Amino acid sequence: MLRRGIICHFAIAACLTSVSPARAQNVGDAAKQTQQVAGDLLRSARTLADAGDLEKARTIVAEYLGSHADSGEAHFLLGYILFKQQKSSESLAAYTEGAKHATPGSEDLKVVALNYVLLGDYASADHWLTRSVEFDPRDTQAWYYLGRTKYNENRFEEAVRAFEECLKLDPRNVKAEDNLGLSYQALGRTDDAIATYRNAMAWQEHALEKNVGPVLNMGILQLEQNKISDAVALLLQAEVIAPNDSRTHEQLAKAYSRLEDFEKAQAELEKAVQLDPNRSSLRFMLGQIYRKRGLMDKARIELDKGTALKQSERKNAPGVE
């Protein structure tokens, strides 16, 4: 019996010696081919997602996961697609499932964080953006979003540092410079805020498409300093850059009200309400302007709408878990 076992052992060894290399090559080639097909499929889905064909991309990934449930890469891609569809809770669930099978990269962590931004959970967004920039400290976008998140948390000193890191990597980033100005302004560093707004405006002076942020924010700052004429000039520029931004019309209305030009203030607020009809503060402001102009029926209608919207805002305010 022992002799038979020894013979069997040597027979298996001989078989492995003589057949394994070819078989291993075949198995290896098949595995590579399978991986290539899978990679091509997921890259195709990613391309579709980036092009805006989100439903088709989602269908491809969902079908792939039906037979490859342990693919972390596919779960992460599904999370990315769901994020672009603004389905934040579902996106986070996909990333959580993916993390069971693979380690998420800096880009994955950034999207996780942005889901939390959409949910209004800035503390969680801060955590994951901080992890993202630790993994990839040269990601300018992640630094920018980290700065925005810090700003929304009222952690203005930290926001300044994040925007400065972004600007080190991208020295003429208008949005980062504009938000650096907002952070300085929140810290009471008015001169620094003015300097950064001016920088941002100068950097885009010859651009075909301008960012309204620095012009609008500089106008608001001038209005706060009671420099009404300077504020109006800047806000009119902002209105040209972004005629469909309700904030420009709102701030112009405030400036005209300070000048007691209530007719112009009314016109600007009516535009603002048309662009953003569900913001209670605009309704209240317009109602007050109507009242000042003696348009009492219109005033009552707007003030009632403002009250109803305010109650709805309180009822539907998202909680942060």
Q: What does the block give as tokens for 195?
A: 């300097």
DSSP labels, 94-122: HHHHHTTTS---HHHHHHHHHHHHHTT-H
Domains and CATH numbers, the chain: 43-103 (1.25.40), 263-316 (1.25.40)
Cα separation of 235 and 247, whole Å?
10
Instruction: Note the pLDDT tens digit of each residue in 210-223.
Output: 999 999 999 999 99
What are the two backbone dihedrals, phi and then psi, of residue 115, each rounded to the nearest 5 degrees? Answer: -60, -45
Contacting residues for 265 by C-beta, under 8 A, at least 6 apart: 252, 253, 254, 256, 257, 289
- Whether the CB-CB separation of 75 and 62 falls below 8 Å is answered with no
Cβ atoms within 10 A of the Cβ of 185, count? Answer: 20
- Between the alpha carbon of residue 280 and those of residues 117, 260, 276, 312, the distances in Å are 23, 23, 9, 9
**Residues 61-111: pLDDT tens digits?**
999 999 999 999 999 999 999 999 999 999 999 999 999 999 999 999 999
Tokens of 81: 């697609």
Residue spans of the chain under pLDDT 50? 1-19, 22-24, 26-31, 318-321
What predicted TM-score, i.e. pTM, was given to this entire model? 0.83
Number of H helices, E strands in the chain: 16, 0
